[in-house]
Amino acid sequence: MKEFVREISWKSIESLIINYHYLHRMPAGILACYGLYEQEDSLCPIGAIVYCNGRIQYQNKFIEFSRMYLYDEIPKNTESYFIAKTLKMLQKKFPSFEGVVTWADENIGHKGTVYVASNFVFDGMSRVTKKFKSNTGKTVYQRTVIDENQYKLLNPDKPKLRFKYYFDKKKREEMRNTIR
């Protein structure tokens, strides 16, 4: 099966991300969205990737790979194929950026395998932040809590694994060798 990738509006994939991605919401600051299709003229995507502005420390340097969802029935290696196609399109669209940053959340079983298969370089971990349960049962994180005594402290999440993809191939190889 040959898949087709094209840039699409966020509205075209909003329901796919909200209904099937584990976070069940669209991110803020969307820069580009891509759909994966079984046929070139197909209207319904079988997968979607969302890229965003990213966190403040990466502003104007790295675009954040924020969401990806593909139907479970897709053939092996489709994820890395889809990512590779979108990275090429993204580099053409945003030539002033150094590359893409993304995170693998070990708390839900993500280890970053597909990122490594797509030539991303492991770049460290996020810091661990405290999380609490409010009296309504809602989980809240340290940055939104004013008085910690009013919340029940929960076990902290594992840090997220950070991966970067450099548009410049030499830089990507240099960073891969630096981290080893």
Give domain status of residue 134, yes or no. no
- Note the pLDDT of residue 14: 80
pLDDT for 101 equals: 94
pLDDT of residue 63: 94
Contacts of 81 (CB under 8 A, 6+ apart): 3
- Give the pLDDT of residue 119: 94
The answer to whether position 99 is within a domain reads yes
Cα gap 50→97, rounded to integer Å: 16
Q: Which domain range does residue 100 map to?
A: 4-127+159-179
Q: Which CATH number fits the domain that encloses residue 84?
A: 3.40.630.30
pLDDT at 138: 76
**pLDDT number for residue 180:** 55
In a domain, 107, yes or no: yes
Positions in the chain short of pLDDT 70? 1, 20, 56-58, 140-143, 145-149, 153-154, 179-180
In a domain, 136, yes or no: no
CB atoms within 10 A of CB 58: 17
Q: What is the pLDDT of residue 137?
A: 75
Task: Give the bridge partners for 165, in sequence order.
Answer: 100
Per-residue model confidence (pLDDT) at position 142: 66
Count structural domains, the chain: 1
- Residue 141, domain member (yes or no): no
